[in-house]
């Protein structure tokens, strides 16, 4: 066993200054007497650099699939950063692409199960229920507001699938035999659902489609790497990254 303090599941590698940053930004936000709307319209003032980095990284990946047919599958929704980013980028960059849907899979109650493959000296403290986010209703409400102003907004863009993805993904495929996938964004963090997502969605992905992994080579999440390694036995691919983002690794299928 390592003697090092375990990395917390959420915001694990932040320095003390980084942990204090959001609270300091919040104080400035609250001291500003402008309207909420005016403050939100200047969001780069208040949003941490790392969150903007994430948004730009997703933009770079979205651009890779702009000309690839198929929907986007977000594996692990949590508070909805990814699904709402994909939905808004689609509305901005391809407003008439009414067949591209954003499907988000999550329990909306945190990790349902931890497998053996998810455990190592660095991750033994990961527990069922970690990364809990009861965000389903809020995301659907915000999606409806977004739909009310976007082009072709009467055709739904975001669909959330609640439950353990190990079960819901195969069920989803059975009841949606039309689905083609241009981007599979794997962010469950865990072995079993990542493996199930790869097995079920890969046959629906054309050449040029992108598989993105959020947690490869990360000591806290060995299960995601393990699922990727098993997948690699049959499918060799180049693993790319955005130079400014430490987390996401992605492969363009060829
Ligand atoms: C890192 S978060 C996802 C972050 C999200 N992509 C974003 O944009 O912020 C991981 C999520 O995966 C979900 N999750 C993990 N295992 C799951 C499973 N077997 N079925 C459904 N959801 C699961 C958790 O509930 C959690 O919300």
219 Cβ closer than 6 Å to some ligand 1 atom = no
| pTM listed for this prediction | 0.95
Q: What is the pLDDT of residue 221?
A: 96
Q: What is the pLDDT of residue 99?
A: 98
Classify domain 51-252 at the CATH topology level.
Answer: Rossmann fold (3.40.50)
165 Cβ closer than 6 Å to some ligand 1 atom = yes
Q: What is the pLDDT of residue 13?
A: 81
105 Cβ closer than 6 Å to some ligand 1 atom = yes
Nearest atom of ligand 1 to the alpha carbon of 108 = 25
Q: Whose CA is nearest to atom 27 of ligand 1?
A: 78
Ligand 1 pocket mutation, candidates 62, 78, 185, criterion most atoms within 8 A of CB: 78
* CB neighbour burial string for 120-155, b if at least 16 within 10 angstroms, e if fewer: eebbeebeeeebebebbeebeebbeebbeebeebee
Contact 181, 207 (CB under 8 A): no
Q: Whose CA is nearest to atom 8 of ligand 1?
A: 82
Ligand 1 pocket mutation, candidates 48, 106, 172, criterion most atoms within 8 A of CB: 106
Q: What is the pLDDT of residue 18?
A: 87
Q: Whose CA is nearest to atom 3 of ligand 1?
A: 76
Q: What is the pLDDT of residue 12?
A: 74
98 Cβ closer than 6 Å to some ligand 1 atom = no
Both structure tokens of 160 = 């959330």
188 Cβ closer than 6 Å to some ligand 1 atom = yes
Q: Look-up: residue for tokens 């590698």?
A: 13
112 Cβ closer than 6 Å to some ligand 1 atom = yes
Give the start-to-end residue ranges of the domains of the chain: 15-47, 51-252
223 Cβ closer than 6 Å to some ligand 1 atom = no
Dihedral of CA atoms 6, 184, 210, 205 in degrees, nearest 10, equals: 150
Contact 252, 218 (CB under 8 A): no
| pLDDT tens per residue across all 254 residues of the chain | 445 677 887 777 888 888 899 999 999 999 999 999 999 999 999 999 999 999 999 999 999 999 999 999 999 999 999 999 999 999 999 999 999 999 999 999 999 999 999 999 999 999 999 999 999 999 999 999 999 999 999 999 999 999 999 999 999 999 999 999 999 999 999 999 999 999 999 999 999 999 999 999 999 999 999 999 999 888 889 999 999 999 999 999 99
């Amino acid at each position: 066993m390592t003697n090092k303090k375990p990395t917390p599941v959420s915001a694990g590698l932040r320095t003390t200054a980084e942990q204090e940053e959001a609270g300091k930004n919040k104080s400035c936000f609250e001291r500003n007497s402008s309207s909420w709307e005016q403050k939100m319209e200047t969001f780069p003032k208040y949003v941490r650099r790392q969150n903007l980095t994430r948004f730009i990284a997703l933009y770079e990946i979205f651009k890779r699939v702009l000309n690839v047919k198929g929907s986007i599958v977000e594996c692990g929704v949590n508070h909805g950063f990814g699904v709402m980013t994909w939905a808004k980028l689609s509305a901005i960059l391809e407003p008439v692409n009414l067949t591209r849907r954003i499907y988000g899979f999550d329990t909306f109650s945190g990790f349902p199960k931890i497998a053996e493959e998810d455990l190592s000296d660095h991750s033994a403290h990961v527990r069922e229920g970690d990364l809990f986010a009861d965000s389903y209703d809020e995301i659907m409400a915000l999606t409806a507001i977004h739909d009310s102003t976007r082009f072709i907004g009467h055709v739904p863009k975001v669909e959330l699938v609640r439950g353990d993805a190990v079960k819901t993904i195969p069920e989803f495929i059975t009841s949606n035999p039309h689905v083609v996938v241009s981007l599979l964004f794997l962010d469950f963090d865990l072995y079993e659902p990542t493996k199930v997502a790869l097995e079920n969605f890969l046959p629906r992905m054309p050449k040029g489609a992108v598989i993105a992994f959020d947690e490869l080579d990360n000591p806290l999440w060995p299960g995601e790497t393990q699922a990727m390694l098993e997948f690699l036995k049959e499918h060799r691919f180049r693993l790319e990254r955005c130079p400014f983002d430490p987390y996401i690794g992605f492969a363009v299928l060829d």
